[in-house]
Amino acid sequence: MIIRFKQIHHFFIRQALYPMALSTLLACTLFAGRVYLSDSWNYHFLVWNLFLAWIPYLGSLWMVHIYRRQPRRWWVLLMPGLVWMAFFPNAPYLVTDFLHLRYSSGVPIWYDVILLSAFAWTGLFLGIFSLRAMQTVVKAMVGSLASWLFVVGVVGLSGLGIYLGRFLRWNSWDLIFHPQAILADVFTRLANPLHHPGAFGVTLLFALFLMVCYLTITASPLYEHS
């Protein structure tokens, strides 16, 4: 029992679960403080968005667990992998919530800056650690080069997902309920790039931003665990 507990503990350490839980606690505490100060539920959407950001992170832990137990049965990873990819953009998406920053009576602007920063930070790094866990699995299955191509592809799709979510108001579950409408929006912009410069600009900028953040964290020797 003790050995099993230590194994789980070290697994959580390698996947940065404890700092992510602490960061989430800080963000939610700041939100509770704002509710108390303002006597309102403004910014309540941050809590929901952070919940969505936890889905791909927990999904990546599940993927690592499945792979370790059944490393040769790659096909069992396909469905959870698709679910992870569908929800992954929700993690860095929290960075875009700075668009809601406004002066508000009863709450200093600096408090809201810290509040939004805490949620954005937590969501961003849930995404980074989630992607790192998935890259570790891909690397073990098909090699280092393919794992980096996987990262580049995911980062690019994530940039597109952030655009679809923030500006076209699509959600991850709409991929199940309205896939044709989403594909139509995407193909319309691909077919007419000059008419939709914002789509390409937002996608590219967020993809680059996420990639730089990912490389900054994962290039550190302190984080190397694979």
pLDDT tens for 112-167 read 999 999 999 999 999 999 999 999 999 999 999 999 999 999 999 999 999 999 99
| 224 or 168: which leads in pLDDT | 168
- Helices (H) then strands (E): counts for the chain: 10, 0
The answer to whether residue 223 is domain-embedded is no
pLDDT digits (tens, 9 = 90+) for 37-58: 998 898 999 999 999 999 999 9
Q: How confident is the model at residue 17 (pLDDT cuts 50, 70, 90)?
A: very high
Highest mean pLDDT: which range of 11-15, 20-24, 61-65: 20-24
pLDDT over 60 (residue 222): no
Residue 167: which domain range? 2-218
3-state secondary structure of 107: strand
The answer to whether residue 59 is domain-embedded is yes
Question: Per residue in 6-26, is it b (16+ CB within 10 Å) or e — as a string?
Answer: eeeeeeeebbbbeebeebbeb
The answer to whether residue 94 is domain-embedded is yes
| 124 or 176: which leads in pLDDT | 124
pLDDT of residue 108: 92
The answer to whether residue 179 is domain-embedded is yes
CB-based contacts of 213-218 (< 8 A; 24+ apart in sequence): 213/124, 213/128, 214/128, 214/131, 214/132, 214/151, 214/155, 217/125, 217/128, 217/132, 218/128, 218/132
Whether the Cβ atoms of residue 202 and residue 163 lie closer than 8 Å to each other: yes
Q: Closest Cα to residue 93, out of 200, 147, 172, 23? A: 172
DSSP 106: T
| Mean pLDDT, the chain, integer | 91
Cα separation, 214 vs 119, whole angstroms: 17
The answer to whether residue 184 is domain-embedded is yes
pLDDT digits (tens, 9 = 90+) for 65-90: 899 888 878 888 888 899 899 999 99
- Which segment of 98-102, 110-114, 203-207 scores lowest on mean pLDDT? 98-102
Q: How many domains would you assign to the chain?
A: 1
Please give the structure tokens belonging to residue 80.
């959870």
The answer to whether residue 56 is domain-embedded is yes
Whether the Cβ atoms of residue 94 and residue 50 lie closer than 8 Å to each other: yes
pLDDT over 80 (residue 105): no
pLDDT over 90 (residue 194): no
The answer to whether residue 21 is domain-embedded is yes
pLDDT of residue 106: 80
Cα separation, 138 vs 119, whole angstroms: 29
Q: How confident is the model at residue 220 (pLDDT cuts 50, 70, 90)?
A: low
Q: Closest Cα to residue 29, out of 106, 111, 103? A: 111
pLDDT of residue 9: 87
Q: How confident is the model at residue 176 (pLDDT cuts 50, 70, 90)?
A: confident
The answer to whether residue 122 is domain-embedded is yes
Q: How confident is the model at residue 226 (pLDDT cuts 50, 70, 90)?
A: very low
pLDDT of residue 102: 87
